[in-house]
Amino acid sequence: MCALPKNIAATKKWPCGQPNNHSAAALHLVPPLQYDVVKDFEPVLLLADAPLLLVASKAVPANDLREFIAWLKLNPDKSSMGTVGAGSPGHLLGLLLQKETGTRFGLVAYHGAGPMQDVVAGQIETTFANTATSLPHVRAGSAKAFAVTAKKRLAVAPGAHRHLGSARGPRGPVTRAGAGPVVSEISQRWTAGTAGHLYS
């Protein structure tokens, strides 16, 4: 992921159509920007759209999201949720979960896949993890899945019976607005399934 430019003038240095990645969450966590992230940029294409699973240690005495929230309320400040760092989707979702349910738990910052590993080991109680990291453990019975951040259930995670809106992790490059027809051409070729010929 590229660093956010300080002002719109910095984006003029980008070659026409050169893609640059931004973190959508980061746009709300930095000081006021000197440009409009909606009007001054445009997406090139969507590479991935990855929902997260709310998973918990098998030691947590709950079998679904309702029971999990009830347990959290009975044990304020006695459990921990792992995240991959301040401002990450898991961190923001943890804060939102506390606000919406009136629960309190610690938020512990990790690097990489650390939170999921510690959930399995029983060192922390819960985390929001991507499906690639969490599903193998859920299927093996070494972790529980309570919910998914998608509009509907995931076929690959039927145990996550509740959905938490549409907070997902869409990923893809963006470029400055008005970059030219190359952006439209890339999008059309990708959609048509011919991305492999982009640079031929």
* Low pLDDT (below 70) residues in the chain: 1-31, 33, 46, 48-49, 113, 151-171, 179-180, 190-200
Angle between helices 114-121 and 131-140 (to 10 degrees): 10
pTM: 0.69
pLDDT single digits (tens) 57-85: 999 999 999 999 999 999 999 999 999 88
| pLDDT confidence of residue 27 | 61
Domains present along the chain, CATH in parentheses:
8-47+172-197 (no CATH), 48-167 (3.40.190.10)
Count CA within 13 A, CB hemisphere, residue 171.
9
| pLDDT confidence of residue 155 | 60
| pLDDT confidence of residue 49 | 66
| pLDDT confidence of residue 1 | 40
Between the alpha carbon of residue 106 and those of residues 37, 70, 81, the distances in Å are 32, 16, 6
| pLDDT confidence of residue 43 | 74
